[in-house]
Amino acid sequence: MSETPRRLLIVDDDAGLQSQLRWCFADYDVEVAGDRESAIAALRQGDFAVVTLDLGLPPDPANASEGLRALREMIALRPSSKIIVVTGNDDRANALQAIASGAYDFYQKPIDADVLRLIVDRAFALYTLEDDNRRLQRRAATPLEGIITSAPEMQTVCRLIEKVAVTDATVLLLGESGTGKELLARAVHQLSPRAGERFEAINCAAIPEALLESELFGYEKGAFTGAVKQTIGRIEHANGGTLFLDEIGDLPPTLQAKLLRFLQERVIERLGGRATLAVDVRVVCATHRNLQEMIGNGQFREDLFYRLTEVSCAIPPLRERSGDAMLLGQVFLHRFAAAHGKRLSFAPGALDAIDQAPWAGNVRELENAVKRAVILADGKQLSATDLGLAHGDADTLLLRDARDKAELHVLSRALARADSNMVKAAELLGITRPTLYALMNKFSLR
């Protein structure tokens, strides 16, 4: 993902506090404004990830109306910026009004630099995630439209789909329920030379066994009671295009032999008919079942399995896609909030809870959780509780903490391997001994 500029706008009429906050946020690109007009002018000239806004701006610091006016104008001008309002100890009512108007968070004076720094860092981390999501949404539509991911695991799957789509090979998509198998099947069709023809999808588990054969292969008039006219099946209907057989692992054994013959000969016979009909169709299958295990249990034909797996593609579950849960959570939040005319964001800790949840139902479960939370939302932010999740570890997004954890892990391993020999440990780490001693002091290692 692209690196988001660390731009911070400080809006406060106290010159001493401006200087203090500049020092506190020395690693940010800081700009200060002393009143509403200059703050709005700064926002018009550039995009700031985070804004700290003193509600007690002149000329009316008593009731903070100037600060609330500035807040409303800022939100209208830069709705994606995270605005943190700073208030006095006796100004809680206006702080709550600011949150209701769309502010990200509030902080009461007197200023504790460390606490305010934590709030700003978390706001910036959230802005970065949302900004990366907006970048993804601005990309031109592709045949893989609908597949939203930043995870290397899913990007590998997408590259495989792009390569195999231009061929006529039969594709088997393997993955848990809700991982996006049908979206990838449609991508295979849209990227193929058959993109202009029909895409026919059928769920083998959703149709009763007694009806599935006629649904797939069609039937002649009089083939059975109620067959009052000739009806073509799904396979014949997809002629020239792509046939998607979802949940192929639930195909009854009696139909597996007939499907195998179709895959081998590319001809079908309608139920009650004698004539063979040639059909030119691309076949894509999907299942959440373990077909190898079913073969061992005699539930699935081995010869059919090898016909279906000219190309096999395993789709990783959401819990194994690095960062995708948070990214998709943002996408679903924006989508459903817009659909219901609401303006919502995730509360601190909610994204961490999303990232840490197991999501047994994968993308479908996450989508339903966010949609339900948006529909039932009363405030401006969705918490982990609103999503039905346990609270996440809010510190997991801090780069400094992650770096410290990694440094301590590697340092401990090097010291153990070197049997606490400083020269050897420094060589293993590729650093000088003074640097090694500095790291040991940093983590209180002796």
pLDDT digits (tens, 9 = 90+) for 365-389: 999 999 999 999 888 899 999 999 8
Q: Decide if pLDDT at 245 tops 90.
A: yes
Q: How confident is the model at residue 21 (pLDDT cuts 50, 70, 90)?
A: confident
Q: Which class does domain 152-316 fall in?
A: alpha beta
Q: Any idea what the Cα angle at residue 183 is, between residues 179 and 185, rounded to 5°?
A: 110
Structural tokens at position 95: 């702080």
Short-list 395, 373, 385, CA closest to 122: 395
Q: How confident is the model at residue 1 (pLDDT cuts 50, 70, 90)?
A: very low
Q: Decide if pLDDT at 63 tops 70.
A: no
Q: What is the Cα–Cα distance from 446 to 440, expressed in whole angstroms?
A: 7
Q: What is the Cα–Cα distance from 366 to 349, expressed in whole angstroms?
A: 16
Write the single-letter amino acid at 357: A
Return the minimum-mean-pLDDT range out of 81-95, 217-231, 386-400: 386-400
pLDDT digits (tens, 9 = 90+) for 274-294: 888 999 999 999 999 999 999
Say what the pLDDT of residue 152 is. Answer: 81
Structural tokens at position 209: 């066994």
Q: Decide if pLDDT at 396 tops 50.
A: no
CA distances from 56 to 32, 87, 109, 113, 215 (A): 15, 7, 11, 19, 71
CA distances from 311 to 142, 193, 270, 300 (A): 22, 18, 28, 18
Structural tokens at position 54: 């003193």
Sheet containing strand 282-287, edge to edge, reads 199-203, 242-246, 282-287, 171-174, 311-314
Whether 366 and 332 have beta carbons less than 8 Å apart is answered as yes
User: What value does the mean pLDDT of the chain take?
Assistant: 86
Q: What is the Cα–Cα distance from 61 to 38, expressed in whole angstroms?
A: 17
Say what the pLDDT of residue 153 is. Answer: 86
Whether 263 and 303 have beta carbons less than 8 Å apart is answered as no
Say what the pLDDT of residue 310 is. Answer: 93
Tell me the average pLDDT across 306-316.
94
Structural tokens at position 45: 């000239």
Tell me the average pLDDT across 14-21.
84
Q: How confident is the model at residue 434 (pLDDT cuts 50, 70, 90)?
A: confident
Q: What is the Cα–Cα distance from 227 to 37, expressed in whole angstroms?
A: 77
Q: Decide if pLDDT at 44 tops 50.
A: yes
A 10 A CB-CB count for 20 gives 16
Q: How confident is the model at residue 142 (pLDDT cuts 50, 70, 90)?
A: very low
Q: How confident is the model at residue 410 (pLDDT cuts 50, 70, 90)?
A: confident
Q: Decide if pLDDT at 392 tops 60.
A: no
CA distances from 248 to 114, 117, 255, 360, 425 (A): 57, 54, 11, 21, 55
Q: Decide if pLDDT at 414 tops 60.
A: yes
Q: Any idea what the Cα angle at residue 367 is, between residues 78 and 365, rounded to 5°?
A: 150
Q: How confident is the model at residue 90 (pLDDT cuts 50, 70, 90)?
A: low
pLDDT digits (tens, 9 = 90+) for 312-333: 999 999 999 888 898 899 889 9
Q: What is the Cα–Cα distance from 215 to 235, expressed in whole angstroms?
A: 9
What is the residue extent of each domain of the chain?
A: 7-138, 152-316, 320-382, 399-442
Return the CATH fold of 7-138.
Answer: Rossmann fold (3.40.50)
Whether 136 and 142 have beta carbons less than 8 Å apart is answered as no
Q: Decide if pLDDT at 136 tops 70.
A: no
CA distances from 251 to 154, 234, 305, 324, 386 (A): 28, 15, 12, 32, 39
| Strand ranges for 55-99 from DSSP E | 82-87
Tell me the average pLDDT across 175-180.
93
Q: Is 387 exposed, middle or buried (0-12, 13-18, 19+ CB in 10 A)?
A: buried
Q: Decide if pLDDT at 66 tops 80.
A: no
DSSP 97-149: HHHHHT-SEEEESSP-HHHHHHHHHHHHHHHHHHHHHHHHHHSPP-TTTT---
Say what the pLDDT of residue 186 is. Answer: 94
Q: Decide if pLDDT at 421 tops 80.
A: yes
Q: Which residues pair with 278 in a beta bridge?
A: 267
pLDDT digits (tens, 9 = 90+) for 4-13: 678 899 998 8
Q: Decide if pLDDT at 349 tops 90.
A: no
Tell me the average pLDDT across 257-269.
92
Q: What is the Cα–Cα distance from 233 to 271, expressed in whole angstroms?
A: 9
The sign one gets for the Cα dihedral 376, 378, 380, 386 is negative
Say what the pLDDT of residue 327 is. Answer: 85
Percent of the chain with pLDDT over 90: 40
Say what the pLDDT of residue 197 is. Answer: 94
Say what the pLDDT of residue 144 is. Answer: 65
Same fold, 152-316 and 320-382: no
Domain 320-382 has CATH 1.10.8.60: yes
> Which of 3.30.310, 3.90.1690, 1.20.140, 1.10.10 would CATH assign to domain 399-442?
1.10.10
Sheet containing strand 82-87, edge to edge, reads 29-33, 7-11, 50-54, 82-87, 105-108
